[in-house]
Amino acid sequence: MRLKIFALITLMSFVSILQAQESVLTAEKLWKLGRVSDVNVSPDGSKVLYGVTRYDLDKNSGDRDLYVLDEAAESPRQVTDFKGSEYNGIWRPDGKKIGFIATKGDSPQIWEMNPDGTEKEKITHIEGGVTGFSYAPSMERILFTQKVKLDKSPQDIHPDLPEANVHIANDLMYRHWDEWHDYKYNHIFVAPYNNGEIGESTDIMKGERYDAPKGGSKEIDWSPDGAQIAYNCKKLTGKEFSLSTNSEIYLYDLETEETSNLTENRFKGYDKEPTFSPDGSKLVWWSMETPGFESDKQRIMLYDFNADGYRDLSKGFDQSSSDFHWNKEGDKIYFISGTEATYQIYHYDRDEEAIHQITEGKHNYQEIQTAGDHLVASRMTMAMPTEIYKVDRNGKASQLTFTNKKLLDKIQMGRVKGRWIETTDGKQMLTWIIYPPNFDPNKKYPTLLYAQGGPQSAVSQFFSYRWNFQMMAAHDYIVVAPNRRGLPTFGQEWNDQISGDYGGKNIKDYYAAIDTMAKEKYVDEENLGAVGASYGGYSVFYMAGDHNGRFDTFISHCGMYNFESWYGSTEEYWFPNQDIEGPFWQDPKPESYEFSPHKSVQKWDTPIMMITGGKDFRIPYTQSLEAFNAAQLLGVPSRLLYFPEESHFVLQPQNAVLWQREFFKWLDKWLK
The residues assigned a catalytic role are 534, 616, 648
The answer to whether 321 and 299 are in contact (CB under 8 A) is yes
Instruction: Give per-residue burial for 301-319: e unless 16+ CB within 10 Å, then b.
Output: bbbebeeeeeeebbeebeb
Strand order in the sheet with 248-253: 220-222, 228-233, 248-253, 258-261
The answer to whether 246 and 268 are in contact (CB under 8 A) is yes
In 309-409, the DSSP E strands lie at 309-312, 321-326, 332-339, 342-349, 354-357, 364-371, 374-381, 384-392, 397-399
Q: Which of 470, 486, 401, 409 is nearest to 435 (CA)?
A: 470
User: Could you report how far apart the first and last alpha carbons of the chain are, in Å?
Assistant: 37
CA–CA gap between residue 433 and residue 335 (Å, rounded): 29
Taking CA atoms, 552 is separated from 14, 525, 593, 664, in Å, by 32, 10, 27, 14
CA–CA gap between residue 624 and residue 627 (Å, rounded): 5
DSSP single-letter state for residue 511: H
Which uninterrupted H or E stretch holds 89? strand 86-91
- φ, ψ of residue 91 to 5 degrees: the values are -80, 140
CA–CA gap between residue 630 and residue 609 (Å, rounded): 12
DSSP 2-22: HHHHHHHHHHHHHHHHHHHHH
